Amino acid sequence: MKKEILIVALLVLITAILRIVNAEVHMYNMVPVAALGIFSGSVLTNKKWAYMIPLTAMFLSDVGLNLFTSTPGFYGISQFVNYIALGLVTLLGTTLVNRKAINVLGYTLGGSMIFFLVSNFGTFLQGYYGYHFEGFTTCYAMALPFYKSEFSTVIFMNSFLGDIIFSAVAFGVYYLVTMPKLTLKKA
């Protein structure tokens, strides 16, 4: 359990720092927040910690954004909805028991999609585009460019890419640290 907490605590710091740096260089959504939710939900046996880890990373990065960047760290009801979205992604992660690469990939993409859908609903609730169906559809349409890479027109590239890379690293390191040591038998 101590190894798990140490690994995840390091990932919290990395996630918070990446979110702050990415806001400054305008690489929107190249932040592995959803991947951290999937990882901690899947790996941590204490589910209270599984939820606290990604939410703490999000909170620390919000504080960092507020203190060290021109990007507001605290911004109203849509922020609250972002925390709910992260909780839902972590809930999804708690169902990831068989951690084969293809399953991790599927859960990671699903977590990214959940975060996109729920967090942008928070933007709609903030009222930026009005409280009607046209405002609802405009809100999601306006969110799509934030999920594109500067080098690609593929929708969700930054979000998916950040989550995929982070999931691969997190689950890979976790596997290497926790896998049983192989011993050779003497002949």
Of 81, 82, 46, 43, nearest to 61 (Cα)? 82
Does 83 score more than 60 pLDDT? yes
The token pair that represents 146 in the structure block:
């934030």
Distance CA 143, CA 137 (A): 10
Q: Which residues, including other chains, have CB under 8 Å from residue 52's CB and lie 6 or more apart?
A: none
The residue-averaged pLDDT of 171-175 equals 87
Is residue 174 pLDDT above 70, yes or no? yes
Q: Please state the domain extents for the chain.
A: 2-178
> Looking at residue 4, what is its pLDDT?
62
Percent of the chain predicted with pLDDT > 70: 84
Q: Rounded to whole angstroms, how far apart are CA atoms 95 and 93? A: 5
Alpha-carbon Rg for the chain in angstroms: 18
User: Model confidence over 24-79: pLDDT tens digits?
Assistant: 777 766 778 889 999 999 998 889 989 998 999 999 999 998 998 888 888 889 99
pLDDT at 124: 94
